[in-house]
Amino acid sequence: MLDDFLTRAALAATGLSLATGPLGSFVVWRRMAYFGDATAHAAILGVALALATDLPIGLGTLVVALAMAVTVAALSSRGWAMDTTLGVLAHSALAFGLVAVSFFPTVRTDLSAWLFGDILAVSRTDLAVIWGGALLVLALLAWRWQALLTATLSEDLAHAAGIRPDRERLVLVIALALVVALALKIVGALLIAAMLIIPAAAARALARTPEAMALGAVVIGMVAGLGGLGLSLWQDTPAGPSIIVVASGLFALTALRQRG
């Protein structure tokens, strides 16, 4: 079964949705959309680092994404203006990454795969990494779920309950870096944030509890993944962007339902 590239792609999209659903819900609740974008943009710098040091691409991406996320979290806790900090770091990391990749001529023609993803090229090893990483993110979020919800609702309430908001922020930062590393090959650096935000935003219009929203985001992400692959196969469109197009359509439907 796994010899079929389309089956592997479908399993990869499904595995990624398991992680992006609940994590994306926290991104929406905490209004961290630009934070996720900055971490995703840093992924291209991670690709360059991996190529320069002969490291696996996923490891290089994870290291740089984690460094970016921790840096942003540290600066925000010191009172730096978040939108300005994220803007500077996100675009700087992307530019440095694109310049660094240009020193590797064999990679230039494949750069679009890192920017927009190449889910149809997912291998068995990639599939194992994606599912293993997704389950790790799920376990991390499940372990800290109640504390994360409390810290998201109110930092004062978290302090009163003996919860350290900065520690919970670090948990989200680590999970975000892991998801960026997992999603790079599927939807690419420019579309990772969309996969985090759009399914969660769509589920928000349908859910009445945080848990229902997280579960709804997983389901919508899976439908978007499979629907995007179907659209790509039908119209011969890029698979990564097609997944986001379907996710956007689902968001529009839930928004119309909420208005009605």
d(CA 200, CA 25): 5
pLDDT band at 21 (very low <50, low <70, confident <90, very high): very high
Instruction: Please tell me whether residue 34 adopts helix, strand or coil conformation.
Output: helix
| C-beta neighbour count of 260 within 10 angstroms | 5
All residues at 6 or more sequence positions from 8 whose CB lies less than 8 Å from its CB, including other chains: 2, 122, 123, 124, 126, 127
Task: Please report the pLDDT score of residue 66 as a whole number.
Answer: 84
Query: What is the rounded CA–CA span in Å between residue 133 and residue 73?
Result: 22
Which tens digits make up the pLDDT trace of 55-74? 887 888 888 888 887 787 77
Query: Looking at per-residue confidence, does 90 or 162 come out higher?
Result: 162
- Give the Cα separation of 5 and 238 in Å (integer): 15
**Is 90 exceeded by the pLDDT of residue 24?**
yes
Q: Using CA atoms, how far apart are residues 116 and 111, in angstroms rounded to an integer?
A: 9
Q: Indicate if the pLDDT at residue 227 is higher than 80.
A: yes
What's the confidence (pLDDT) of residue 259? 61
Query: What are the CA-CA distances from residue 18 to residues 6, 67, 160 (Å)?
Result: 19, 24, 32
Residues 173 and 176: their CA atoms lie apart, in Å, by 5
> Residue 90 pLDDT > 90, yes or no?
no
Band of pLDDT at residue 253, cut at 50, 70 and 90 = very high
Model confidence pLDDT, tens digit, residues 39-50: 888 888 888 788
pLDDT (average), residues 236-250? 93
Q: How far is Cα of residue 156 from the mean position of the Cα atoms in its chain? A: 28
Fold of 5-255: ABC transporter involved in vitamin B12 uptake, BtuC (1.10.3470)
Contact call for residues 189 and 241 (beta carbons, < 8 A): no
Assigned token pair, 153: 């609702």
